[in-house]
Chain A
Amino acid sequence: MSERSPEAIWLMVLPMMVLFGLVLHLPLILQSLSLLPSWTALQKDVALLLIWSSIFGVSISAVIYLGNIPKPIALPWKGLQNLLAYDFYTPKLYKVTIIFGVAQLSKLADIVDRFVVDGIVNFVGLFSLLGGESLKYGNSGQTQFYAFTVLVGVAVLGAWATWPFWSVQFINLVF
């Protein structure tokens, strides 16, 4: 530990000293500006409580800082000391609860977006490509096959176009 305390720079010390003086003189300032209420408005209980709490605070600090408690102060329980040292673990708490929650939700949404939504689209595209690839293997190359397909197609088309004309007899024939 250091034996000399490092000196603060004048930019910090000077305003602090000025304000220190101002605060100490504040009752006098208020008195001269007639801003203080009259003495009859004094509530004895509250004033006593305030004085007592100030004395209590000063004496505790005197015991700690002027007494011979070894510094830096080591609390009896390491856990408590760590709790205070790491700011009640507040950043870690936030990290584990809110940040973790939002981040996981976001990752989930991203996975859904990438694989489900985009996946469907890519699957459709893949499916079309594969379909095309496999369809091309269906060609046999023989002209009679194509002529037969054309004939069947024209026949089916003609039958469908003229359906109203021969539907009645066809159904009577079959049933």
Chain B
Amino acid sequence: MLSVLIWLPIIGAAIISILPDTIIPKNRVRLVSLTVAFLVLLWNVFILLKFDITNPGMQFSEYLPWNETLGLAYQLGVDGLSILMLILNSLLTWIAIYSSSENTERPKLFYSLILLVSGGVGGAFLAQNLLLFFLFYELELIPFYLLISIWGGNKRAYAGMKFLIYTAVSGALILATFLGIVWLSGSHSFALDAVNTQNLSTTMQVVLLAGIILGFGIKIPLIPFHTWLPDAYVEASAPIAILLGGILAKLGTYGLLRFGFGLFPQAWNVVAPTLAIWGAISAIYGAVVAISQKDIKRMVAYSSIGHMGYILLAAASGTKLALVGAVAQMFSHGLILAILFHLVGIIETKVGTRELDKLNGLMSPIRGLPIVSALLVLGGMASAGIPGLTGFIAEFIVFQGSFSSFPIPTLLCVASSGLTAVYFVILLNRTCFGKLNNDLAYYPKVVWAEKIPALVLAGLIIFLGVQPTWLVRWNETTTSAMVGAIPTAGKIIISQVETNQHQQ
């Protein structure tokens, strides 16, 4: 069942790259990859519908022994934490392929790399074996490096190389930590459910947890390991930026929750205050730096850094509600980032520039880009946390869940949410409103095929904002079980605001 999610995209990638031009002509490659991605999405929705939300454990498990001596086994499973991430992965792959231009150069390589990445990320979300996870985690490295370096902007070589080095270091740290965990705790396999860190000393646990945090922290990214992100997101083309921000960053937070929170329940309490403050600093930093950006894509990139800070805060808090909020924020941020990058990509293609000083008046009905601007307003509102859209739901749950454990960082994050509104209003005010420049405003028309991904995402954002049950019901049982494993002795609780999860 679950293997389909990994192997169908990879087989699709193989088909696209290997079959000769006579069978798949160059102008049909996009269509073929779109079909493959759509099939994967349908299968994923099917799995979602068959998912049992009352079961906190792993579902649809698959097990194949691979290499016993290494301890590597092909073990897959999905639970509340990962099911939404899988949907996000398939959805954003489909959106990214749809968002890509029809005349991309070297289409076969491009689309096969995207599908490869999609399969790899799916595998990482599904893996129940530490080494298998690491395998899939490293699988993205080279495809993404190629995707950024070949189809990117002006500084793509620099951005790609920076991304590669950072992510490779992250992978090395994670591998070292995994090996350390298994070796030191005396487990005989790398399987996730077999690893038990309870018998390690607290210091050792904290050291290993620090390794996990640093490794995944580069991926999320956390300040000060974030510098690869602005360059990578800005230089990548729109579909790649969607994948980078929507899926790859989520790999970092997923890893933090699964392997940090899940494997080190005792040590988590020790590092939680640091993590909470770190998350708040990250959120404020991302928002403040975004205000002064003059390139709209860079602004959205820094906004991404800010929003990931909320996830860290929620993970640090460790309450049931906060963890539900963390997963909700992961999904919602993926959607919002996807729509923002897609629209910014359209603006860049049509207008020819990304600079805030040169863009103006795009909401003009006949000569401008009215629908794109309207959806950009929607995306900006969603990112800033306006009620009625999914961003508000996720942020609200995060704040409410974390306030009882860490009030000051939560307040800082709320302030950062306000600052998000500042730079989005700057963005919308300069690009959408105002007067079109008569001498330059001869932009080509926006066709329906370019609007559809944005409309699909906007529909989802509004729907989840109005019916948040559909966002949170999947992960409640799993996250409650995860929180339940934490010993409550070391937690500072001011007043536990009991969950609203049953009050939708």
Q: Write the residues of chain A forming the contact surface with B, with a CB cutoff of 8 angstroms.
A: 102-103, 105-107, 109-110, 113, 117-118, 121, 125
What is the bound-complex CA distance between A125 and B162, given in angstroms? 9
B422 within 8 A of partner (CB): yes
Within 213-270 of B, Cβ neighbours of A (below 8 Å) are at 223-224, 226-227
Residues of A within 8 A of B226 (CB): 117
B203 part of interface (Cβ distance < 8 Å) = no
| A113 near B291: Cβ-Cβ < 8 Å | no
Residues of B within 8 A of A102 (CB): 291, 422
Inter-chain contacts of A113 with B (CB < 8 A): 227, 285, 289
Q: State in angstroms the CA–CA spacing of A109 and B282 once bound together.
A: 12
Closest 10 CB pairs of A and B: A106-B292, A106-B291, A118-B227, A109-B289, A110-B292, A109-B288, A107-B292, A117-B224, A110-B289, A106-B288
Interface flag for B55 (CB, 8 Å): no
Chain B contacts to A: CB under 8 angstroms: 162, 165, 223-224, 226-227, 285, 288-293, 422
| B292 / chain A contacts, CB cutoff of 8 Å | 103, 106-107, 109-110
Q: How far is the CA of A99 from the CA of B424 in the complex (A)?
A: 14
Q: Which residues of A contact B224 (CB under 8 A)?
A: 117
Interface of B: prevailing SS: helix
Q: How many angstroms between the C-alpha atoms of A102 and B291 in the bound complex?
A: 8
- Nearest B residue to A112 via CB reads B289
Does the CB pair A110–B293 fall under 8 Å? yes
Task: Give 21 CB contacts A-B under 8 Å.
Answer: A102-B291, A102-B422, A103-B291, A103-B292, A105-B288, A106-B288, A106-B290, A106-B292, A109-B292, A110-B292, A110-B293, A113-B227, A113-B285, A113-B289, A117-B223, A117-B226, A117-B227, A118-B227, A121-B162, A121-B227, A125-B165
Contacts of B422 in A (CB 8 A): 102
> Of B165, B290, B291, which is in contact with the most chain A CB atoms at under 10 Å from its CB?
B291
Residues of chain A contacted by B162 (CB below 8 angstroms): 121
Other than A109-B285, A110-B289, A110-B292, give 7 A-B pairs with Cβ distance below 8 A. Answer: A102-B291, A106-B289, A106-B292, A107-B292, A109-B289, A117-B226, A121-B227
**A118 neighbours in B (Cβ, 8 Å):** 227
- The docked-state distance in angstroms from the alpha carbon of A109 to that of B165 is 24
Output the least CB separation between A106 and chain B (Å).
4
CA distance A105 to B227 in the complex (A): 19
CB distance from A109 to the nearest CB of B (A): 5
Chain A residues near B227 (CB, 8 Å)? 113, 117-118, 121
Q: Which residues of chain A have C-beta atoms less than 8 A from B290's C-beta?
A: 106
Measured CB to CB, the closest approach of chain B to A116, in angstroms, equals: 9
Question: A107 — which chain B residues lie within 8 A by C-beta?
Answer: 292
Beta-carbon nearest neighbor of A124 in chain B: B165
| Nearest Cβ on chain A to B376's Cβ, whole angstroms | 21
Name the residue of chain B whose CB is nearest to the CB of A111.
B292
> From residue A70, how far is it (CB to closest CB) to chain B in Å?
36
Complex Cα–Cα for A105 and B419 (A): 12
CB distance from B157 to the nearest CB of A (A): 13
A102–B226 Cα gap in the complex (Å)? 22
Complex CA–CA separation, A159 to B484 (angstroms): 54
The smallest C-beta distance from B62 to any residue of chain A, in angstroms, reads 40
Q: Within the assembled complex, what's the spacing in Å between the Cα atoms of A117 and B288?
A: 15
The residues of A that contact B223 with a CB separation of less than 8 Å are 117
**Which of A102, A105, A106, A121 has the largest number of chain B CB atoms within 10 A?**
A106
